[in-house]
Structure 1
Amino acid sequence: MQINGKVFAITGAGNGMGREVALQLVEKGGRVAALDLSEAGLAETVRLAGAKGDAISTHVVDITDRAQVAALPAAIIAAHGQVDALLNIAGIIQRFVPVAQLDFDQIERVVNVNLWGTINTIKAFLPELVQRPDAALVTVASMGAYAPVPGQSVYGATKAAVAQLSRSLHSELMGTKVAVTGVFPGAIGTNIAANSGVMTAAEMEAMAAKAGDGKQRKTTSPQEAGRQIVEAIERGSYEIFIGQDATFMSRLSRLSPKRAAALIHSQMKDLLG
């Protein structure tokens, strides 16, 4: 897809990867409907866009609220005249505890945001996308979709579901003008734990050091992740893996799932102690 002149609806555009994708798309001549629960986060995205900020409309929305999501396409078309792409980037993690220690309301919150939020937006926007001469649908899963992380079982389950949803949509939309891309990020240097409400930024830093035996775990920057996502849109990629960790674990998980699980367990088990 050519970015210039296209309109992109992006969930999670108020921080992290979603923000970086929004900023890079407007730099390439795209227009963005930035969707997020945080009004302050959306305002900061517009501020960071500088002179390109006029190309961004902001929409405060809870993607778990089906009625709010259903109203989005009309609002975006009113602001931009069209909508050519949906990028599902918003997502949250769970507390780093075993499933047995998660309350049902905590489980439901992760499922509602990661899975139902993605389904809600796809159902709302797909009727518009299939009518466009060139369209894109991007879903962000996770390395956790195929590499089981202790203490993130529910999160991983939702991301595995998102990954399979993306693959099935790709098959369903063959023969249309909608390119479907699945994204599998590894460790990205965002504040997802704080934004998910499961720990503070300081606690996240301490946890990362603990997982790395005192060494800071290597992460991919949100800017680089954003660049790769934008490039995937331009190419119409089927799936992309962001970070050496995501690429390595994808290969190992296919070759030896049990060995991959053991490796992840050895690196992350202390987080549960």
Structure 2
Amino acid sequence: MQVNNKTIVVTGAGNGIGRELSLLLLKKNANVAGIDINMAGLAETQKIAGVGPDRFKGYELDITNQEKVMALPDQVIRHFGSVDGIINNAGIIQKFIPVNELTIEEITRVMDVNFYGTVYLTKAFLPVFLTRPQAHIVNVSSMGGFIPFPKQTIYGAAKAAVKIFTEGLYIELKDTSVKVTVVHPGAVATNITENSGLGKSKVDMSDPKNVAMASKMSLSPSKAAEIIISAMEKDRFRVTVGKDATMLDLLYRFNPKFATNMIGKLMKKVVM
């Protein structure tokens, strides 16, 4: 689906990939309903875009609040007149600790934001999308959704649930006007640790070696947004974002046990 003259909902629009998705969609002449729990972040996105509320409208929303999510489509339609797509991008990671050390409350929060938030928004907007000549649902999973990362096991489980949920939607909606894409980003240079309420990363970025490693491994949010919007416009079923995600996807398909053990060794060297 070409995004020109379409209205697209973007979650997590107040920072990171969500902000860059919003900016790129606006450049492509789409209207954006930006969703975030942080209204100040949404205001900053609009300021950077340099557009009025007729093009970008921010909605402060906790996507785990099912009642408020279900009321959102009517609000977006009242403002823009229609809605044609959603990019479920908002997400959080867990503390970098084993499952045994996580509380049930911490586990529930990660699942609520990453999985149920995606489900709630999809359920809210899908009936509207089915009435449109064209519509598109993009759900952002993670490379952690197809290969396990120790000390991010619950995050990975939530993103794996997003993967299967999205692929199931694809086949259910194949003969309708609604296209579906699942996205698996690798490392992207965002503030997800801080935005997840975990404080700042403990990686010492005053060390040139760490800066070099981060820049080598991480994709910029703007480049990630370009890949995601391109996948949306090409009606891609599935897309990996970043060389790391693409490489690990191939390796895991070829030898899952070897790939899992390799990730385990690599993660022991990472101090968050």
1:115-264 aligned within 5 A: 115-201=115-201, 203=202, 205-206=203-204, 215-216=213-214, 218-264=217-263
> What is aligned with 2:55?
55
> Which deviations, in whole Å up to 9, do the C-alpha atoms of 1:93-151 show, x marking residues without a partner?
00000000101111111010001101100110000011100100000000001121110
Q: 1:53 to 1:24 in 2, by over 3 A?
A: farther
Q: In structure 2, what is the equivalent of residue 105 of structure 1?
A: 105
Partner SS state of residue 108, structure 2: helix
Question: Do the aligned partners of 2:54 and 2:80 also contact (CA within 8 Å) in 1?
Answer: no
Q: Deviations over 1:29-71 (max 9, x none)?
A: 1000000100001001100101466410110000000011011
1:105 to 1:208, Cα distance in 2 relative to 1, 3 A: farther
What CA distance in whole angstroms lies between the structure 1 residues aligned with 2:200 and 2:28? Answer: 34
Q: 1:218 to 1:87 in 2, by over 3 A?
A: same
Residue 20 of structure 1 aligns to a residue in which SS? helix
- CA distance, structure 1, for counterparts of residue 249 and residue 70 of structure 2: 35
Contact 1:26–1:52 at 8 Å: present in 2 too?
no
1:153 and 1:96 map into 2 onto residues whose CA distance is 9
Give the whole-Å Cα distance in 1 for the aligned partners of 2:205 and 2:158. Answer: 23
- SS of residue in 2 equivalent to 1:182: strand
Corresponding residue of 1:269: 268
Residues 129 and 178 in structure 1, CA contact (< 8 A), matched pair in contact too: yes
Matched-pair contact (CA < 8 Å) for 1:143–1:186: yes
Counterpart amino acid of residue 31 in structure 2 = R
Change (3 A) 1:78 1:208: farther
Deviation at 1:207, TM superposition (A): 8.8
Aligned-partner Cα distance in 1 for 2:123–2:229 = 23
The alpha-carbon distance between structure 1 residues 213 and 200, as it changes in their structure 2 partners (threshold 3 A), is: closer
- Distance across 1 between alignment mates of 2:76 and 2:32: 9
Distance 1:10 1:172 in 2: 23
**What runs of 5+ residues in structure 1 fail to find an aligned partner?**
none
Matched residue count: 271
Which residue of structure 2 lines up, in the alignment, with residue 72 of structure 1?
72
Aligned 8 A contact 1:27 1:52 in 2: no
Task: Give the aligned partner of residue 46 of structure 1.
Answer: 46
**Displaced runs of 4+ in structure 1, greater than 6 A?**
211-214
- Match of residue 94 from structure 1: 94
TM-score (norm 2): 0.95
Q: 1:174 & 1:163 partners in 2: Cα distance?
A: 16
How far 1:238 moved relative to its partner?
A: 0.6
Greater CA drift, 260-269 or 77-86: 260-269
Tell me the amino acid that sits aligned with residue 262 of structure 2: L
Identity of aligned residues (%): 43
Shift of 1:4: 1.3
- Letter matched to residue 63 of structure 1: I
3-state SS of 2:133 partner: coil
What is the TM-score normalised by the length of structure 1? 0.94
RMSD over aligned CA atoms reads 2.1
In 1, the alpha carbon distance for the partners of 2:211 and 2:26 equals: 40
Q: Distance in 2 between matches of 1:101 and 1:122?
A: 32
